[in-house]
């Protein structure tokens, strides 16, 4: 009986004791996509400053698969000790759960820590394709039904959603080619194996500036500073079109409050740093730090907004 009471007391004191000694060793930042994509880029921009702020190294751990679902599942099933944090996406927290059965509940299986960034997608055409605007792309697709193909970072990704919104508005018939991340999709797109890439804007910026690809339109409500000459889809003649993306930091459910508060505070400090904001802006990404409570509310509102749309578009997971 005494032994049981000792164990129970240790359990009750485990949270405070853990928080008091935290962190005692490196933490991992799970990324649900391969190196070379936008999520990985954001993680690697903030990683050095997060490591400095926490006083222990934060290691970027790429776990690609199922449009971010693999990394999200790993996060949900990890110990809630503050040593596993996930840079999640709109796709893994909202879109994938709306269109398929995922092994976690976004509302119950994570501790929200704060939003990270907001960013747009962009329609890119390979130079071999005779189009220089979104209008010309739509005209080409209409003239060649079922022939034109487009790449995205995965089924149910925001790139996929962006493309399907255009499909609905423009009434075109083209072929989706999903990849396991923006990096692999970019490689095949640059080599001409796919004709169009609906990319996260940060992936595209250097190649657009180098003239290696043709940028047709961005998907948000406004032009981005990094590519100010590129119009929005709405400006290109598709009124009402808007599709944006965001990333956020989450941890396993049950994270001790003191550790959650520490991550929330450090994330906001890092994303408020002018050098970090500048690095992100150069790739078309807006730093968008928030409180944990604001992220929780945002997740609810985004689910109400995007889940019915993803279902109505008939999106299906791989």
List, for residues 66-97, the tens digit of each pLDDT value: 889 999 999 999 999 999 999 999 999 999 99
Residue 7 has pLDDT above 50, yes or no: no
Higher pLDDT pick, 110 / 4: 110
Query: In the chain, what are the domains?
Result: 2-118+245-312 (3.40.190.150), 120-227 (3.40.190.10)
R_g (Cα) of the chain, nearest Å: 21
Helix (H) or strand (E) holding 191: none
Which pLDDT tens digit goes with each residue over 193-208? 999 999 999 989 999 9
d(CA 3, CA 26): 32
pLDDT value at residue 136: 98
Which pLDDT tens digit goes with each residue over 11-20? 454 455 556 7
- Helices 274-281 and 257-272: crossing angle in degrees, nearest 10, is 70
Which pLDDT tens digit goes with each residue over 114-168? 999 999 999 999 999 999 999 999 999 999 999 999 999 888 888 999 999 999 9
Stretch 255-260: mean pLDDT: 98
Residue 314 has pLDDT above 80, yes or no: no
Task: Answer for the pair 216, 133: CB distance below 8 angstroms, yes or no.
Answer: yes
Tokens of 27: 């933490």
Tokens of 106: 């976004």
- Sequence-distant (≥ 6) Cβ neighbours of residue 91 within 8 angstroms: 67, 68, 154, 156, 157, 158, 245
Location of structure tokens 């995205």 = 152
3-state class (DSSP) for residue 31 = strand
Tokens of 75: 């996060």
pLDDT value at residue 204: 92
Of 179, 152, 180, 153, the residue nearest 166 (C-alpha): 152
pLDDT value at residue 316: 66
Residue 9 has pLDDT above 70, yes or no: no
């Amino acid at each position: 009986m005494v032994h049981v009471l000792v164990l129970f007391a240790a359990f009750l004191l485990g949270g405070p004791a853990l928080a008091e000694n935290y962190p005692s060793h490196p933490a991992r930042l799970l990324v649900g996509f391969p190196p070379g994509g936008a999520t990985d880029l954001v993680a690697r921009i903030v990683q050095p400053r997060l490591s400095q702020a926490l006083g222990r190294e934060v290691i970027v751990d790429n776990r690609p698969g199922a449009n971010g679902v693999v990394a999200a599942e790993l996060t949900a099933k990890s110990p809630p000790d503050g040593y596993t944090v996930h840079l999640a996406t709109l796709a893994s927290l909202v879109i994938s759960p709306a269109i398929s059965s995922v092994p976690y509940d976004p509302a119950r299986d994570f501790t929200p820590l704060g939003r990270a960034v907001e960013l747009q997608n962009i329609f890119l055409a390979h130079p071999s394709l005779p189009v220089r605007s979104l209008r010309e792309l739509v005209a080409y697709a209409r003239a060649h039904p079922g022939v034109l193909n487009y790449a995205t970072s995965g089924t149910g990704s925001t790139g996929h959603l962006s493309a399907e919104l255009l499909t609905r508005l423009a009434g075109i018939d083209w072929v989706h080619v999903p990849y396991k991340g923006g990096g692999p999709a970019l490689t095949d797109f640059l080599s001409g194996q796919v004709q169009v890439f609906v990319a996260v804007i940060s992936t595209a910026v250097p190649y657009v500036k180098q003239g290696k690809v043709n940028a047709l339109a961005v998907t948000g409500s406004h032009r981005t500073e990094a590519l100010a000459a590129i119009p929005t889809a709405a400006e290109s003649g598709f009124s009402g079109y808007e599709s944006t993306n965001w990333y956020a930091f989450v941890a396993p459910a049950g994270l001790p409050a003191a550790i959650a508060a520490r991550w929330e505070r450090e994330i906001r400090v890092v994303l408020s740093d002018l050098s970090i904001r500048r690095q992100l802006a150069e790739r078309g990404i807006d730093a968008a730090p928030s409180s944990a409570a604001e992220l929780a509310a945002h997740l609810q509102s985004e689910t109400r907004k995007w889940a019915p749309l993803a279902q109505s578009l008939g999106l299906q997971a791989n």
